[in-house]
Amino acid sequence: MKQNPEMMVSDMSSLLSVSAEAQAGVMRQAELMVEAPVKALTLWQSLSSVWLQRRTEDMRLCMEMTQRLSACRDIGQATEIYTGWLSESMRRLREEVSTAPEQMSTLGIQCLNTLQGLANAEPGKSAPSAPSAVRRAA
């Protein structure tokens, strides 16, 4: 089905006559779409940095334990070295697991704030914060 060229020009001119308020809203949504990945990446980098520091420390402790075990000639002392290493490893693991929900909650709230901002972007307004029920869950 062919469209009338005059009708197409009329449709195009109506698209170009979008209000300044609507244009500002679209611009705010575009800004939020650019800001969101940057914020998420910054948060992810900080979480990843902590994770990498923990893995590095785990590796150091494991190497230290291996060196001590290889120099050990007494089964009782070897058991003591291994038990100490295992206890410390489990303590560190419990600490890491206990912080994971808070970290995931922080990421979730940030994503929710961004999505709400995109959905509700209006000229001159910043993105709304997460609902209080979500903040309390964190």
Q: From CA 90, how far away is CA 94, in angstroms rounded?
A: 6
Per residue in 75-130, pLDDT tens?
A: 999 999 999 999 999 999 898 888 888 878 887 887 787 777 767 765 445 444 44
Report which of 19, 39, 15, 12 is spatially closest to residue 118, judged by C-alpha positions: 39
Per residue in 12-70, pLDDT tens?
A: 555 556 677 777 777 777 777 777 778 778 878 887 888 889 899 999 999 999 999 99
Q: Please state, rounded to an integer, the average pLDDT across all residues of the chain.
A: 76
> What radius of gyration do the chain's Cα atoms show?
28
Residue 28 is predicted with a pLDDT of 76
Say how many C-beta atoms besides its own lie within 10 A of residue 63's C-beta. 10
User: Residue with structure tokens 């295992």?
Assistant: 86
Say how many C-beta atoms besides its own lie within 10 A of residue 127's C-beta. 20
Residue 126 is predicted with a pLDDT of 47
Q: In this prediction, what percent of the chain has a pLDDT beyond 90?
A: 27
CB 113, CB 131: distance < 8 Å: no
DSSP 92-130: HHHHHHHHHHHHHHHHHHHHHHHHHHHHH--TT-PPPPP
